[in-house]
Amino acid sequence: MLRCPPDTGAAAADSIQSGPVDGMIVNTQAAQGARHKQHVIDPEICIRCNTCEDTCPVDAVTHDDNNYVVDPEKCNFCLDCISPCPTGAIDNWRHVASRYSLADQFGWNELPAQERVETDEAEDNEAAGLIAEAHGGAGGKSIAPSSAAEPKINLYNRQRSAAATVAGNFRLTADEAENDIRHVILDFGDTTFPVLEGQSIGIIAPGVDATGAPHRIRLYSVASPRDGEKPNANNLALTVKREPNGVCSNYICNLKKGDKVQVTGPFGATFLMPNDPLANILMICTGTGSAPFRAFTERRRRTMRDAPGRMMLFFGARRPEELPYFGPLQKVPDGLLRKHFAYSRIPGEEKRYVQDVMRQNAGEVGIMLKNPHTHVYLCGLRDMEDGVEAAFSAICNDLDIDWAALRAGMRAAGRYHVETY
């Protein structure tokens, strides 16, 4: 699960205020030039009902005899037009090097394909810094899998957050377990909040810190697939561990059904699930790092149950009773998800970590690593990075494979991802 360092509530003065989601020019590498986010309407499914034009508070939507279009010079990304649209035609976005003009849009018979431009994980300064830190273990800049769906990012921020209602808050760990880990369901009602598996959202805890500054936004990976915790529901789930003195984690873990929560995001454009049925997905996690992998697994179960690609999970915890989703995981068939557990604090037993169990199953791991359709995802405590890296290196060495070269190639191809904290 993507989250910040311990959320004690101390906020750096230069990271409290995050800029509005304005779709304006964002600096990228010089070779890329300027990049813009643009709101567009799909002419193939638009029924020309005029609802969007009537709804827009800044008169950004207009039309001719052919198409309804969005003026990029006027659109402020308020999203007021999204929910009223009866077909979803207006819920489309493009990241472009140069904005499409009104004349361009009036001439479309279909939406243009997404350009190959570099996208940021977040345009919110608070979120961008946290994501960059979490992805640092990849050994270089990652890119999204080529088959991944186009993510929506930065729709809501601190100045204009989305309001969600708590639909459920359930303890995942046993009552006697030392760690209190929660499964929290947030419902967005009529508010559009699209997320993909692997993305994260920001939670704003109410109140201020000891200096009088607003609490910092904390990021949490989404633990449900894109169509909701319940299929076709406008909701999502989070996996949250209560941290000692953690302002936001305690706030979330104490939420009651019906409570309102201020949410930012969604964030993340690379740690995404491949939409390829041939893709093998090798997932390694500890604790709440299981959140995105629950989303991955449920997405494949719902949409590609018979996919030829394999899914394999290495999951570490201190004891079985402290492992989130332990009970439900036992019911997932091995044909869908091959599961390996590592426990480090069972009385009378040798400590076993995820890297140890990887080595014990080197044959299975090796077969996956040699397959060009395999994607590797590592999520959880940063302390496991070195051990997992050593395990991969040893497994590859036995196969006469240079792990460093293989990892670099996988990362460049959008097949190697790290998100640790």
Catalytically active residues are 220-221, 379, 419, 421
Euclidean distance between CA atoms 175 and 125, whole angstroms: 38
Instruction: Give me the phi and psi of 70, to 5 degrees please.
Output: -115, 125
Q: How far is CA 307 from CA 276, 277, 338, in A?
A: 9, 5, 14
Q: What angle do CA 274, 219, 242 make, to 5 degrees?
A: 115
Task: List C-alpha distances in Å: 294 to 35, 87, 300, 395.
Answer: 33, 30, 10, 26
Decide the pairing of beta strands 181-187 and 260-267: unpaired
Please classify residue 103 by burial: count the beta carbons closer than 10 Å to its beta carbon, then call 0-12 exposed, 13-18 middle and 19+ buried: exposed
Distance CA 31, CA 116 (A): 13
Residues contacting residue 380 through CB under 8 Å, at least 6 positions apart: 1, 284, 285, 286, 287, 288, 289, 290, 316, 420, 421
How far is CA 26 from its chain centroid? Answer: 21
DSSP string, 129-188: HHHHHHTGGGSS-----TTSPPPP--SB-SSSPEEEEEEEEEE-S-TTSSS-EEEEEEE-
- Dihedral pair phi/psi, residue 104, rounded to 5°: -55, -50
Q: How many CB atoms lie within 10 A of CB 34?
A: 14
